[in-house]
A and B are shown apart, each in its own frame.
Chain A
Amino acid sequence: MSIKHVILLFFTVAFLSCVEDYHLTKIKGKRIEINNEINGDKSIEEFVKPFRENVNKNLDSVISFALQTYSKSDGEYNTAIGNLMADAVFEEANPLFNKQTGQNIDFVILNHGGIRSIIPKGNITTRTAYKVMPFENSTVVVSLKGTQINEMLKYLSMAKRAHPLSKQVHITLDKDFQVTSASINNQPIDADRTYYVATNDYLYNGGDRMSFFHPNDSLYVLDYKIRNVLIDYFKKRDTISPKIDNRFIQLNN
């Protein structure tokens, strides 16, 4: 044990105790680290084992196949894995959003830091989705005015990172990181229009300093975890082969 701090205090208290003869004289508090110096209880281990095996079997079940290894470090302003994630959110979440609201998602933005693992070449399992997206972040759709989209462009031009965007977005930066062209569904950004932007609840709440989600007109919570989006997307495809494209690029002249 480390050094103990002793704190003394003076009570002037009559304990209204149901046990008249006993009163509290001393309190000792500490925490105990649970580490590998403690042997696990055998009956608990035995009990958990079949659950663990079943979960692992499920997690390791093959749901798709990756033609290549996809990493978030492959690509300057857009990456194959980021493009896949943003496009997957669009494809899987839009039907749900459309059913709820009668509207369509205009585009998806996620964050580069939210891609937590590579997708390695070969079999894709449910576990792959858990590794890429271990967090419980869920899909939300925010209705944003065009002015806020312009704030987003400012953010993206300054962030200089391959934040995942879905294929409806095209942004070009010049060598000085100024936005030279930007379009959504091949239309220039209209400051007065309302856009339905899908993202996750973490970013909506200001994660990665994405403050452009506020103010907004409304928020639609889809209760659809990003991880489940990926699982559903993979299950619908025998193989995946996402590509780096020109949705977000910098021109050096």
Chain B
Amino acid sequence: MMNRRKFIQNSSAATTLFGLGGLGLSSFDNKKQKKITILHTNDVHSHIDPFGPNDGRNANKGGVARRATLVESIRQENPNTLLFDAGDIFQGTPYFNYYGGELEFKLMSMLKYDLATIGNHDFDNGIDGLYAQLPHADFEFVSANYDFSNTIMDTHVKPYKTFIRDGIKIGVFGLGIKLDGLVEKRMYKETAYNDPVGIAQDMSRILKTEQNCDLVICLSHIGYYYKKFPEKVSDLNLAKATKDIDLIIGGHTHTFLPKPTIEKNSAGKNVLVNQVGAYGLYLGQVDFFFEEGKNIKAEGTTIIV
């Protein structure tokens, strides 16, 4: 708990610290490195066009066409890149009012999103409205704590999905916020909500020990943290209450984190929690570097944020 973070003021020092962390640098140089890049957005809320020059603090920011350019350039640099969205794709501009989310899904497909989870606003045209747009999405949805079995979405949302990139297995599960009180019942119908913490514990165990994933990522729309309700389930609380999750990509609270937060999990290990605000103003990027080597004990992982 105490002294859990050591800050060093420049990145070159990281290498030095790496040596202190466990293995000597001697075993570093010859090793092959693999890099998995995770890109993410959340709460884009139908913001397709960039903000105009007179839009206050968002002026000239955002825009899906620019996001496409950026994502593509990162993919050029590292083909082992995955692109995720943490929900609330819908609602916020007339594009949603006019097209019901068709355009949002089509554009995300053009940007080759790999996976998304479901936010509360994605029910804004009812669960039937969400279902109706699914043919426009070339990507899948994950949610482990929404039980859609008594709804039209049954079989269309999986609890998790795994990817293999450059031999590295990545498991991603989804979490959604409690809908009762936030979305009208007649919109979400028989969608059942289960406790995110218990589900996340199950999911991380399945992905880590049964699916043998090298990376476990939670795509969450439960919110970063609730200052006035510190006990309320949130990404930070989830990070502390679980283990074997490497990264929580969050949404819902429109939290503009300048850099990912590092939290300690229930086993005392580090979890990254990230969220990039809203409206497609930012793209989150987390790179995971894997090194070849037989000595897998007493290993040190450097986190640079």
Q: Contacts A7-B305, A27-B272 given; indicate if A40 touches B214 (C-beta within 8 A).
A: no
Bound-state CA distance A45–B69 (Å) is: 11
Tell me, yes or no, whether A29 is within 8 Å of chain B by CB: yes
Instruction: Please choose the segment from B136-144, B146-154, B221-229, B288-296 that sits at the chain A interface, where 4 or more of its residues have CB less than 8 A away.
Output: B288-296
Alpha-carbon gap, A26 to B34, bound state (A): 11
Give the complex CA separation of A42 and B260 in angstroms: 31
Instruction: Tell me how many residues of B have a C-beta within 8 Å of chain A.
Output: 89
Q: Across the interface, do A22 and B167 meet the contact criterion of CB distance under 8 Å?
A: yes
State the Cβ distance, A174 to closest chain B Cβ, in Å.
38
Q: Give the shortest distance, in Å, between B68 (CB) and chain A (any CB).
A: 4
**Are the CB atoms of B48 and A48 closer together than 8 Å?**
yes
Shortest beta-carbon distance, B76 to chain A, in Å? 13
Could you tell me if A31 and B282 are in contact, using CB atoms closer than 8 angstroms? Answer: yes
Query: Who on chain A is nearest to B213 by CB?
Result: A18
Select one of A6, A16, A48 contacting B302, CB under 8 A.
Answer: A6
Residues of A within 8 A of B60 (CB): 35-36
Query: Across the two chains, which residue of chain A brings its CB closest to B92?
Result: A136
Question: Closest Cβ of chain B: how far from A126's Cβ, in Å?
Answer: 8
How does the 8 Å CB contact mask read for A9-21 relative to B, with 1 for contact and 0 for none? 1111111111101
Q: Which residues of A contact B300 (CB under 8 A)?
A: 8-11, 25
Residue of B nearest to A22 (CB): B290
Q: B50: which of A5, A16, A26, A36 is its contact (CB, 8 Å)?
A: A36
**A31 and B4 alpha carbons, distance in the complex (Å):** 23
Residues of B within 8 A of A27 (CB): 246, 272, 286-289, 301-304
Tell me which residues across on chain A come within 8 A of B293, comparing CB atoms.
21-23
Contact of A43 with B by CB under 8 A: yes
Say yes or no: A8 contacts B305, CB within 8 Å: no
A24 touches B301 (CB 8 A): yes
- Whether the Cβ atoms of B301 and A9 lie closer than 8 Å is yes
A74 contacts the other chain (CB 8 A): no
Task: Give chain A residues whose Cβ lies under 8 Å from the Cβ of B287.
Answer: 26-29
Over the window 184-222 of chain B, the binary record of Cβ atoms lying under 8 Å from chain A Cβ atoms (1 yes, 0 no) is: 100000000000000000000000110011110000000
Please tell me if A251 contacts chain B, counting CB pairs below 8 Å: no
- CB–CB A25/B291 < 8 A: yes
Q: Interface stretch among A51-59, A112-120, A149-157, A187-195?
A: A51-59
Binds A, one of B17-25, B172-180, B231-239: B17-25
Residues of B within 8 A of A35 (CB): 60-61, 66
Q: B34's closest neighbor in chain A, by CB?
A: A22
Given A9-B270, A35-B61, A51-B99: A28 in contact with B304 (beta carbons within 8 A): yes
Whether A44 pairs with B107 at a CB distance below 8 angstroms is: yes
With A5-B8, A32-B283, A34-B283 in contact, is A26–B302 under 8 Å at CB? yes
Interface presence of A41 (CB below 8 A): yes
Q: Does A22 contact B305, Cβ atoms closer than 8 Å?
A: no
List residues of chain A with CB within 8 A of the CB of B294: 21
- B1-31 CB mask vs A (1 if < 8 Å, else 0) is 0001111111101100110111000000000
Whose C-beta in chain A lies nearest to the C-beta of B33? A25
Q: Report the Cα distance A40→B274, complex, angstroms.
A: 25
Given the complex, which residues of A lie within 8 Å of B254, measured CB to CB?
none
Please measure, in the bound complex, the distance between the C-alpha atom of A51 and the C-alpha atom of B262, giving whole angstroms: 41
- On whether the beta carbons of A29 and B11 are closer than 8 Å, the reply is no
Q: Which residue of B lies closest to A223 (CB)?
A: B184
Residue of B whose beta carbon sits closest to that of A25: B291
A6 touching B13 in the complex, CB below 8 Å, given contacts A23-B299, A27-B303:
yes
State the CA gap A21–B124 with chains docked (Å): 47
Chain B residues within 8 Å of A29, by CB: 259-260, 272, 274, 284-287, 303-305
Choose one: B94, B289, B303; the contact of A59 (CB below 8 Å). Answer: B94
B115 within 8 A of A: no
Please name 11 further chain A to chain B contacts, defined as beta carbons within 8 Å, in addition to the given A15-B214, A28-B304, A34-B62, sorted by A numbering. Answer: A6-B13, A7-B305, A10-B298, A17-B212, A19-B214, A19-B290, A22-B292, A25-B18, A29-B284, A30-B260, A34-B67
8 contacts between A and B (CB under 8 A): A3-B10, A4-B11, A25-B300, A26-B14, A27-B287, A35-B66, A38-B70, A55-B95
Q: Which residues of A contact B (CB under 8 A)?
A: 3-19, 21-36, 38-45, 47-48, 51-52, 54-55, 58-59, 130, 136, 221, 223
Lowest 7 A-B CB distances belong to which pairs?
Answer: A40-B65, A41-B68, A18-B212, A29-B260, A26-B289, A44-B65, A6-B8
